[in-house]
A and B are shown apart, each in its own frame.
Chain A
Amino acid sequence: MTELSQLRRPSLRVALGALALATLAAFAAPRPALAAEQPETVCIQCHGSLPDKLGAPVKLWRTSIHAENGISCNACHGGDPKDAADAMNRSRGFLGAPKETDIPAFCGRCHPGVLKDYLASAHGKRLGQGGPTCFTCHSNHAIQKASLTLINEKSCTRCHSFERARAIRDAMLQTEGYIVNIDARIKGFQAQGVDTDRLGKGLFATRNRFHTLFHDVNVTRVKAESTQINVELAKLDQDLKVIEEARAKRKTVGAFVIAGALLLAGLFHLMKKTFD
């Protein structure tokens, strides 16, 4: 075939080679990111490859909300996250695994409001005497975003009947539903480019205040403060409604604009036919 024999010509070969190189350089094709681009603490780097009991926390932690927010082992257990030699050095702040009675203080370093409510509550007063610690309901490494599902029959009946747990859960149900609804709408808007910073922060603060309430395990208090929290949520709801209305308006205008474009297309087409 004459075409293929052309390939023997040196000028064509040079051109082919140059074009290939140029295409290679200009052609950006992605591939999965290198693990080295993402700095991990030395804790994860070492324990991640250890077997059984020593490595299991890493897998659990990876599913947690702490991991999602970049909070690694040293945030709770102390130690140096960058230097493997000093990672577990007590003089560098390493705390090891806490004893049962030390658990609330351990978590309370970052969650002081919850600690305060817990210590004043019926649960907290039984610390060290069979009462629950943070770990009892929240687990330690695979900690999930707090929600009302933590108050369930299986968990609470380990120590007592479900009646009182049910009472407090029912008191929190409506508000929690409101929060979940607002959260979903905010997330939906964020995925559309709406600036949800202020709303998101407002909800975060309100949600934390509300969830902290539980740790007092006091139904009366929950009911009383829920009213105030609902007022704040209603404000957020109103702001979201304004955005939703504006969005709906955009869609209506969009319908007219698209209809206009189709009308123009039709008119041009008919005009063309008069010339055929």
Chain B
Amino acid sequence: MGLFKRLYDWIDLRIGAREIVKKELTGYLLPRNINEWYSLGSVLLVIFALQVLTGMLLMVYYVPDAEKAFKSVTFIMNDLPYGWLIRLCHAVGSNMMVAVLLLHMLSTLTMGSFKKPRELNWVTGFILFTLVQGISLTGYLLPWSQLSFWATTVATNSAAAIPVVGPYLVEFLRGGKLVGPPTLGRFFAMHVAVIPVIIAATIGAHLFLLKRTGISTPPFGPQEASPPAPASSYHYESHPGGIPFFPNYALQDLTSICVYFAVFLAVVFYAPNLLFTPDAFVPANPFQTPAHIKPEWYFLANYQTLKIFPSELLGLSVQAAAMTFLALLPFVDRSPQRNPLKRPLFLACTIGGILLWIGLTIWGHFS
């Protein structure tokens, strides 16, 4: 232990590590009534890190060429030691990322953490949500299976409904009139370089905003007797007398991460086929559309919405309106009240919206 202390002193002399630790870790105080939902953010960070790691490992053997892509993935799954594990971690991880993200959005929504002064946090979070959808979509094409090929065809087709620029946009996305080798090239670049970098930068912004504003207090319990008066100048929301982030809440973060891993690994080892249809293991055939091609579960609600509306443009516009409304929620719902039980209209809309989304998803699965 003497060695560690000497090393710590050496670093502290040069960068003031002790001061940083006091400010960011042991002295960083969180509200006493903080709950487990607040740890979902760090779970998401870990999921992202794991996706990057498994993604990089896959890149060692994956070949982004239409002729070789499927074979390289088959090689990874069958002939490489633990290749199946890396690939399944990456595929299951992407679905978990969306699921945990939805839970994280739900908790911030319910506890009103998107309200003033945290509107930018919500907006950057929403941008992350869109980016995660984008990275999932681009990643889906890379194995070049029947499922990849046709799901991408269906997904990129929807842009054609946009007036004026629609058809050109579709061609631009695909790098040609139909999905083909040019599509693989640009989707690969987007998936492994462009979008991850933007996600990392947006996470940086999201965390900066979080630290700068100060963590919100859960709106439950005695503290929420009266909503705080809106400030007219910047102030950091501190929690004097609160619990320190390190080691107290850091341990909660770690607990949540381990629980996540238990669930994640249970799917990887026992139910990987939850996410793969047999078409995912048949090489892409541009001349044969398989029956019943469906998008991933998190896109089923959108898929079903488009099927409901007779006009594609109308279907797309309805969804765009819904997404825009959600993105700009902090600017629409401006009341300072954060306790969901005291916001009946908001609660009704949220529960209604969630039920609608679940209903559309289930309908989309069976239709």
Contacts and interface: CB of A to CB of B under 8 A. Distances in A.
A and B touch in the complex (CB under 8 A): yes
Interface of A: 2-3, 6, 12, 16, 19-20, 23-34, 37-39, 70, 187, 190-195, 250-251, 253-255, 257-258, 261-262, 264-265, 268-269, 271-272, 275-276
**Overall SS of chain B's interface:** helix
B82 to A, nearest CB: 10
Contacts of B159: 24-25, 28
A19 B328 contact: yes
Nearest to B291: A68
Contact of A27 (B248, B261, B319): B319
A76 B295 CA distance: 36
Contacts of A264: 258, 261
Contacts of B254: 268
Contacts of A39: 287
Given A27-B323, A37-B153, A272-B251, A258 B162 contact: no
B133 A257 contact: no
Contact of B265 (A26, A31, A258): A258
B151 interface: yes
Contact of B150 (A2, A33, A257, A275): A33
A265 B262 contact: yes
A23 B324 contact: yes
Interface string B93-132: 0000000000000000000000000000000000000100
Contacts of A251: 269-270
Contact of B155 (A30, A258, A261): A30
A254 B268 CA distance: 8
Interface string B246-262: 01100110110011011
Given A3-B334, A261-B258, A265-B259, 10 more contacts: A26-B130, A28-B134, A29-B158, A29-B306, A30-B155, A30-B158, A30-B302, A37-B153, A193-B77, A264-B258
A254 B265 contact: yes
B154 interface: yes
> Which of B78, B169, B255, B303 has most A Cβ within 10 Å?
B255
A191 B87 CA distance: 15
A233 B124 CA distance: 59
Contacts of A24: 159, 162, 316-317, 320
Contacts of A31: 154, 157-158, 303, 306-307, 312, 315
